[in-house]
Amino acid sequence: MSDQCIFCGIINGAIPSAKVYEDEATYAFMDINPASEGHLLVIPKRHSKDLLEIPTEDLAAVTATAQKIARQVVGELGADGVNLLNCCGADAWQTVFHFHLHVIPRYRDKGKDK
Ligand code: 5GP
Ligand code: ZN
């Protein structure tokens, strides 16, 4: 937990979010500035700043949650594919320094993409 971290604030409820899934180790919520319809973020509840720092077990938990959500997004919600994305470091466009995986649904009908 980091006092300055937006995503820690989301996990502890101090900052509102549109939650889609939660378990012991992970939390998933809608991205505030979606790249496509249904764009969401999966984060570990335990704070790590990036891919280089996150413990392997937290990475595994986040990845498992992203897979669960990707299956639903494609199977039930009508997406035709999904991009999983992680930005590690400011030079790789990371802007929030609490590890997160983007789950970005993609549609054959590109009308739903931004
Ligand atoms: P990054 O650029 O670090 O890979 O991605 C950070 C993501 O967090 C961006 O897609 C941005 O829209 C999202 N984001 C930043 N602040 C908030 C927030 O307060 N709430 C939500 N739901 N998403 C946020
Ligand atoms: Zn944090």
According to DSSP H, which parts of the chain are helical? 6-11, 56-75
Each residue's pLDDT tens digit, 83-104 = 999 999 999 999 999 999 999 9
Joined together, the tokens standing for residue 67 give: 């897979």
What is the number of the ligand 1 atom nearest to the C-alpha of 94? 3
Within 6 A (CB) of ligand 1 lie: 6, 15, 17, 29-33, 41, 87, 93-96
pTM of the model: 0.95
Q: What is the pLDDT of residue 77?
A: 84
Domain positions in the chain:
6-112
The CATH number given to 6-112 is: 3.30.428.10
- CA nearest to 5, candidates 40, 34, 46, 41: 46
Joined together, the tokens standing for residue 65 give: 């949650």
Please list, in sequence order, all residues whose beta carbon lies within 8 angstroms of the beta carbon of residue 95, skipping any fewer than 6 positions away.
Answer: 87
Q: Whose CA is nearest to atom 24 of ligand 1?
A: 32
What is the number of the ligand 1 atom nearest to the C-alpha of 30? 22
Q: 13: which DSSP letter? A: T
Q: What single letter denotes the amino acid at residue 43?
A: I
Average pLDDT over residues 51-55: 98
